[in-house]
Amino acid sequence: MSKHNKTTSELEEEIQARLRIAPEACLRIGNFGFIELEDSWGDEATIVNTARISTTNNRLRNAESFSERDRNLLYQLLRDQHGTPFETVYFRFRFVAPIFVLRQWVKHRISSWNEFSMRYRKPISEAYIPDLAARSVDGYAVLDEQAVQEYEELLQGLFAWYERQYEQACARIDADREAGLIPAKSGGRDPYRGRARELLRNVMPVAAYSDVYWTVNFRSLMNFFRLRRKPDAQYEIRQYADAAYLLFSRRLPLLASTMEQVLAEQGN
């Protein structure tokens, strides 16, 4: 899209670094989207050990040490909705996604959510641009190329307006501070520039990208997958859910295959 501001350039550099460092844990999505499974705590053995707390002190070390009986127990626990053992395994994702996707995602409330704030930094100067697959229904493009071009130009204009107005506001603040009309900056966050950012962010569209850390236990993550990977889920959040599932399945393949079996039997 438009020329990147410092915030966006730094984010793009970080994304490229993460793709080099941890390629199996990262994926790009759309024109600027990104997701990484940064970390996880616990595994299939954690779930089975938790479930057996009242019956044995023998602890499994990992999924590789599972017997057929252990695998069957994992399946039965998930099938019969014994939820709490599955709350002992956690995942931390980081993702860069359009704000309209975040508004759907944040409804999955049993999780921890930390989002990039435009109160403290300039917005990410990239917005989601739908490709042909995103704007097609049964092979029919609901928006033509001309509409997409105008869509992109409109978004570029908004980002350019923000940069221009923020630059002018900062110049006026600096001039008035030098003239003694407003107090000198005393360290930390400048309340005058901060208020300008707070007001100017109001023009940012829901197509603009934001940046989120999402920490979630497996019980909640399974519900996210069940709802957001369905064929009738909105295309964009389905892309992120499918990507999150792929990264999760690489990390814990036995738990992923067990979940797939249970969901298939339930008709989900």
Distances (CA, A) of 137 to 28, 89, 143, 151, 225: 23, 38, 10, 19, 23
Q: Tokens 């460092």 appear where?
A: 21
Vertex 34 angle, CA 30 and 39, to 5°: 155
Pairing of strands 209-217, 90-98: antiparallel
DSSP 3: P
Residue pair 14/95 in contact by the 8 Å Cβ criterion: no
Is 197 considered catalytic here?
A: no
Q: Are 50 and 84 a contacting pair, CB within 8 Å?
A: yes
The one catalytic residue in 135, 197, 219, 228 is 228
Residues contacting residue 145 through CB under 8 Å, at least 6 positions apart: none
Residue 101: closest CA among 30, 161, 17, 37? 30
Question: Left, alpha or beta for 40 (phi > 0: left; psi -120 to 50: alpha)?
Answer: beta
Active site residues: 228
